Every structure is written in structure tokens, then in C-alpha cells.
Structure 1
């Protein structure tokens, strides 16, 4: 017959499983599970590292870190490497194990960085499902230097559930992304079939009525309506392309060339290296290129622009340059428009950098550098 302690553990495991199954937000899920897990196994402290395919890690959640590790906004937990991460990255960490010592704690003690609350060791468990690995679960307690097989088995069970939940959330995010693309395509079709055709009809009607009219004032007004409608049609075509970039399936170069034709720009494109770019980076470059070409059309007072795309040394560099009117800009100061700020943020979201050069009368240059992650 199960003991009261065993019944309590089963109830807690049930609560953890329910939270994992219901969660849709990664951060909230990990925080809630950690709060339930530590009392279950009588631990004081815990933390989770999420690790990407390139070995870059982030402190996803933590509970009751000692002051020596929590100092400077938890900087000791966010920098450098440690023994458990090295084992994980080397492929030597297959299941729950006892760690002899915590390297981060040891370094904190050596450097006299603050109170460690008597923590010297921790258990570590990989978060994985099948062959997919997502990170590490670590737990520790004051003066605890060894974890029983029962404790490690329990940790391994919870870690597997966490890994399965992470996988589920990632799949859901991918589904949402696909749903967004589908909705963009639907909206683009609707705009093309309704508003686009309506504007074209207004242009034809204005042109025909102007040719039949003998009143000069009416002719001028109809010419103005025709010009406005033509401009609106250009804007609508550009919007449709932003929603559904026809040609991106043939690569970023084709998409940018086609979009420049839609805007009525003369664009020269030079390519260096293999342009087989990951889809997320390709879409980022596409969105940045759209904004830069729109700026050229609307503000540069020139129809000529130059695009250079270079892939080398695990990074892609895109430069978009025009010889238009330019503007005064000093590096290091705030960007002068929301569009430029959006370009910068898009590049930085992919771990890249954004550079802007512009001078009155000498045009503008936007340079994007993004690392390519396999």
C-alpha cells in the first residue's frame, strides 16, 4: 500500500503533468513546473538552461538562486560554460546524473562573490524527446552532495515530460506561423481581386471620361483623379507583395528584383557566394529589402539603386545603396524613422547587425549582416 509520501509525490506529478499539457507559453510553463518540482524532491534551488542547435544557451527559468549566482542580474548564470553544459554539448549526458561539483558555484567561492547558501553540488538532467534535445534541468539543495537513484529517476521522468511539452509548444508555434502565412495569402488575394481591380476600373473610367469631356476644368480634375488612382494602385500592388512575396519561393534575389519592378525602380543586383539561405533569414532579408526599396522610391528622388548580396564565412551580408538626395545622419544617434528602426530590429532578432550611412546629396546605404545558423 502506498505511503502518504508516495501519494503526495503522485499528486504533485499529476499537477506537473497537467500544467505541462495545458501550457502554451514556454516561460510560464517552466516557471510553474520548477515551483512544483522543488518541494516534491525537497530541493532548495533549481534552474533550466535551454540550448539551441548551435550550442548557445539561455537561462530560461530559475528558483531560489543563492546570492553568489543571482548577483548582477544573474550574470554568473548567463555567461561562460560549465561542466554540465560541456557534457551536454559533447553528447556525454544521456540521462540524470550526479555532478561532483557545480563549476559556477566553485568560481563564485574562489572569487568571493557572495553567499552560496551551502550549495556545492547539483543533479543535472537533459530535456529531450527521442533524438531531439532542448536543454538541461538542474536542481540542488544545501549541503547535498549526492542524489539517490530514486531521486534521479523522478527527475528523469519530469525532464521527459518537460521535453515533450517544449516540443509541443514549438510545433504549435510553427502551426501558428503557417496559419499567419495562409491568412496573409488570403488577404493578398482579396485585395488583388477587389480593391486592386476597383482602382484599375477608376483609372480607365477617368481616362475615358476625360477624352469625352470638352470642359478644361473637368479634364484637369479627371487627370488628377487618374494620377491619384494610379498612385494608389502602385501602393496597393506594393502592399500585396508585402503580404505575399511572389518570387520568394525562387530565392531572395528573384523576390527583390521582382519587387523593384513593381515599384518602378531600376535595380542592379550583385551576388557573391552560395545564396542557399535558411528560410527565416531569407524572409528577414526580404522584409528589410522591401523597406529599403520603399524608402528609395518615396524619399530618395531616384529610381536607381544597387543591391549586393554576399554569403561567406557563415554569414550573409546585404547592402542596399542609392545615389539619391540622402539626409543628414550621425552614427550612434537615434534612427530618424520607424522604417529604419524596423529594419534594425529585424536584423537584431536574427542575431545580426544593422548599419546606416547617409549624407545630403550623396545618397544612402543600408548594410545588414546576419550569421547563418544551421
Structure 2
């Protein structure tokens, strides 16, 4: 006759059920750590019911499952580091995913055990069937509890009801632990946020530009958080590119890789949403490959990553972070990322204000120096010129030309030339006239140097102050070279403003470098300064000089995107 192994119960089965539920409840209340708690409670359940084997599957919203706990598995299910419990699928998991598993049920047979028998993975200890019970907290489905015993092929209604009651207890305890861990992690993450903000505030004054700021932000995030991967992606010249990234295994990396079209569309979606967006594992793999890094495999498969838009002044940026391997951390980490976005944006604004203060300080110093030069050296040169002219007049009025008259004439000429150079230097130190526009200021400056300057402009967008001043300085130097070397009195200046760049051209029709009596050295100081100014603005400068067509200086400067 078939022998059935029943769950052990005394004559008063009601008392046994109450005792079992009481013992399980006490066990659940002894720990706030999920894995040890599940191991303990599954073992206690099997001990109280006379069953021998049990395991718990946790199943995420996407359908991925993991074996969170097991007790006394037969050798066949321990094959290859418990591969049968990690891979493949089965009836109970499929029914759970489909939403058709509402109560405790008998499993006719276990596919995992059938596969183990078919592939001869080891002894199943005569276990062929199990009961499966959904774990839930209210309406939230969490996973499955499976229990079995050798030779037991059927569970009675009373047994299933007891297992269902135990599963409710376990599900409620797991939800309590999830909330507890979430609050713990939230508190920890906000404490880290405070430390991050203080560190960022201390290092802010060491940042000279937005790129320095990006590297500092990502470096500090890598230091203060446990996120395996962080990247800061910014929009420059109309295209998104990675400014810098940090991977826990590789440290900080400076990158300028442009985004593939698919990734660019993903990030544009994040920017347009104005809030944190969850990234899939595939999207995270793609981003890490663009960065030339790869987070650990243990977290790459989880898909727990988020991207949030930042709003630095006049720019567009996205912060991407691999949040970890636990689904429970997702909500608290997303909240922290929202707060981080506000802190980083505020720091960017602070950096902009710091740069404004630095610029005002430099402007004040240049104005002070210009005033001092005007009040001292300029006046001395003017007096020297008048004195030399007076002395020359007296010496020239004699019957015989005095030998010193020629020397006085040279002194007067040199002093007038020095006076003109000094006035040009003062004008460079204090760029009066930029209020009326770059081209008008250069036209006025050219007139003061005895040049007729024709200007032409295309495009209607405005120039940032630092770019306008940089082009003003380059234009001044170029006009000075025209006056000194081209042997002409006219020059053309063209400014072409596009969506992503400014093209600035100064051209003369002089003799060019090939016909100069004293050719400009290959490493001329003036040319070097112009090139350095262009490079400091992220652009480039090209000079073409010909004896037939004159000299042309072309400067190309990238422009930031204009905010709507």
C-alpha cells in the first residue's frame, strides 16, 4: 500500500498549528537580516512539520528569480554549485510569473528534480514532489516557499493551509525587513550626501572650469558612495560626450567619447523627462563600454542603474550611476540621486559665481594697472616728447645746425612711438567699448591705430563674455601686427556665428611674411599669445601669409548651446 508522510500533528491538530505559527513568529522577530532569517525559519518549519527539505525563491518584478535560502537540499540539486537552483525554469516559477499562483498547491512533480535525474547529477534522496506556497505581503507578491520530504507526493488541505499561514508570516516579515533596510540605507545615503556636499564645497575653489568640476564631482561620488560605476555626461558642441567616469575597479578616468546614436537617444529621453530614469542592464552595459570600463559582473546583471539630468548654467548634463545589486536599494538611491542633482547643480552655479568674481578681480586689476600706466609712464613719455620737441626747435634755430639736433629729433620720434605703444597697451588692459559690441570696439581700436577697418557679421546669437573678450584680445593683437608689419592701412574683420561655433577672421592685403624686411619669427610672442588665447577657449587659430594675398588670421571657437 502507498505510504503517505503526513506533517506531524498531535491529536489536537489545532494546538499544533498554533504552536507552529507561534514558533515561526518568534523566529521571524529575532533578526532584521534577511538571509540568516530565511535560513533559520525554513529550518525551524521543517523541524516542526517533519519535512526534510525546503528552499525559497525571491522573484523580482521583471521575472528574474534567485534562490535566497535552502535547507538540506539533496545532492542532485547541489550539482555545480547549486546550478539546478539558479538556472532554468519550472512550473511553480512560471505560474508565479503569470499571476496564477494565489495559494499553496501540490506540485505533481518537480522539473528541477526530473532534470537532475535525467542528467544524473546525483542522488535525489527519493524526493520527487513538493508543495509550493506564494510569499506575499498584502497584494505584493515576493516569491515562493517550497518544501518536500522523501516519498511524499501529496499534501493535504490542512497541511497546505498551515504552510499558507506560515508563508503569510514570512512574507510580512520580509516586507518589514525590506522597509527597515530601506530606511537604514536611506539614512546612510543621506549621511553620505552631507559628507559629499562638504567635501565638494571644500574643493570647489580648486576648480577652474566646468571640466575640473565634473572630475571633482565624479571623484567624490566614487569616494563617498558604494556605487560600482558613475559617469558624468555633458553636451558640448551639440553632442553628448562622457566628461569623466569612475569604476570601483579602475578608479577615475577622463574621457571624451561621443555617444552612439542609441545611447544618445536614451540620454535625450532622460533630459526631456527632467527626473531620474531607471536603466536596464543592457543600457548600462552599453554605457560602460562607451566609457571603456565595466562594472563587476555581479551587479551588471541586476539592471539597477539610474540616470538623472543636471542643469549646470548654460549646459546640459546627465549623471549616471550603477546603484547596486539589491532591488531594495533602488528607491532610496533614486531619492539620493534627486538630492545629489540639486546639490551638484547648486555647486555648478557657485562655480559660475566664483568665476565671475575671479573675472571681476582680474578686470579691476587690469583697470588699476591701466590707470597707473596712464598716470605715470604715459605722462612721462608725453612730457619727454614735448621736451625733445622744444629742445629740437631751439637747436634748429641757430646759424649752424647743432650736432645734438638730430639726436633730439630721434628722441622725439622714439618717444612718440613709445607713447602710441603705451596707449595701445592701456587700451588692451581696459577694453572700453565692448559694451557696443566686439566688432564696433575693434573698428574703433583700429581707427585709433591709424587703420581703416571694415567689419562684417553673420548670425544673430550672442557671445558669452569670456569668448567675446578673448576674441577682442586676439583682434587687437592681429590689428597691431597689421599696423607694424603689413605696410597697409586697411583690414577686414569677419565674425560668423553658427549654432555650435564662432569663426573670427582678420585679413589684410599687405605684403605678407614672405616680403617683410624683418620676417616675423616662427615662434613670435604675439602669435603664440593669440594661439594660447584661442586654445584656452577650446578653439584653434590658423595663420596664412602670402606675398600676393596678404595675411589672414582665422580663429574657430566652439560655442555652448543656447538655452530655450
Give yes or no for TM over 0.5: yes
1:305 counterpart (490, 509, 513): 490
Alpha-carbon distance, 1:275 to partner: 6.2
1:272–1:311 CA contact under 8 A, matched in 2: yes
Alignment partners' CA distance in 1, 2:495 and 2:184: 65
Alignment partners' CA distance in 2, 1:142 and 1:13: 17
- Alignment of 1:264 with 2:445, yes or no, is no
- Alignment of 1:233 with 2:416, yes or no, is no
2:458–2:497 CA contact under 8 A, matched in 1: yes
Alpha-carbon distance, 1:344 to partner: 3.6
Q: Which residue of the partner structure matches residue 321 of structure 1?
A: 507
Alignment partners' CA distance in 2, 1:141 and 1:359: 60
Q: What does 1:1-374 correspond to in 2, within 5 Å? A: 9=189, 11-23=191-203, 24=205, 25=207, 26-27=213-214, 29-39=216-226, 43-51=227-235, 54=238, 56-64=240-248, 74=255, 77-80=257-260, 82=263, 84-89=266-271, 91-94=272-275, 96-103=276-283, 105-106=285-286, 117-118=296-297, 119-120=300-301, 121=303, 122-128=305-311, 135-140=317-322, 147-213=329-395, 214=398, 216-265=402-451, 267-273=452-458, 277-278=462-463, 279-300=465-486, 302-311=487-496, 313-314=498-499, 316-328=502-514, 336-350=523-537, 352-360=539-547, 362-370=549-557, 373=560, 374=562
Aligned-residue RMSD, C-alpha: 3.7
* Superimposed CA distance per residue, residues 316-353 of structure 1 (whole angstroms, 9 cap, x where no aligned partner): 44332223231259xxxx96434334334434554545
* Superimposed CA distance per residue, residues 211-261 of structure 1 (whole angstroms, 9 cap, x where no aligned partner): 223562221222222122111101101101111122221122221122112
Alpha-carbon distance, 1:203 to partner: 0.6
Change (3 A) 1:143 1:79: same
What SS does the aligned partner of 1:236 have? helix
Change (3 A) 1:170 1:268: closer
Alpha-carbon distance, 1:371 to partner: 5.2
Alignment partners' CA distance in 2, 1:9 and 1:371: 38
Alpha-carbon distance, 1:209 to partner: 1.8
Structure with larger Rg: 2
Change (3 A) 1:246 1:162: closer
Change (3 A) 1:132 1:282: closer
Alpha-carbon distance, 1:195 to partner: 1.3
Alignment partners' CA distance in 2, 1:349 and 1:17: 29
* Superimposed CA distance per residue, residues 19-41 of structure 1 (whole angstroms, 9 cap, x where no aligned partner): 122222225631442133323xx
Change (3 A) 1:208 1:224: same
Change (3 A) 1:97 1:296: same
What SS does the aligned partner of 1:148 have? helix
1:84–1:124 CA contact under 8 A, matched in 2: no
Alignment partners' CA distance in 1, 2:186 and 2:413: 79
* Superimposed CA distance per residue, residues 129-169 of structure 1 (whole angstroms, 9 cap, x where no aligned partner): 8x987522222167567852122112222332222212111
Change (3 A) 1:223 1:98: same
- Using CA pairs under 8 Å that are at least 6 residues apart, name the structure with larger relative contact order, 1 or 2: 1
Unaligned runs of 5+ in 1: none
Alignment partners' CA distance in 2, 1:143 and 1:8: 17
Unaligned runs of 5+ in 2: 1-179, 208-212, 516-520
What SS does the aligned partner of 1:245 have? coil
Moved more, 207-216 or 254-263: 207-216
Normalising to structure 1: TM-score of the pair? Answer: 0.79
Normalising to structure 2: TM-score of the pair? Answer: 0.55
What SS does the aligned partner of 1:170 have? helix
Alignment partners' CA distance in 1, 2:201 and 2:508: 52
Alignment partners' CA distance in 2, 1:107 and 1:88: 14
Moved over 6 A (4+): 1-7
What SS does the aligned partner of 1:219 have? helix
What SS does the aligned partner of 2:545 have? strand
Moved more, 278-287 or 8-17: 8-17
Change (3 A) 1:250 1:319: same
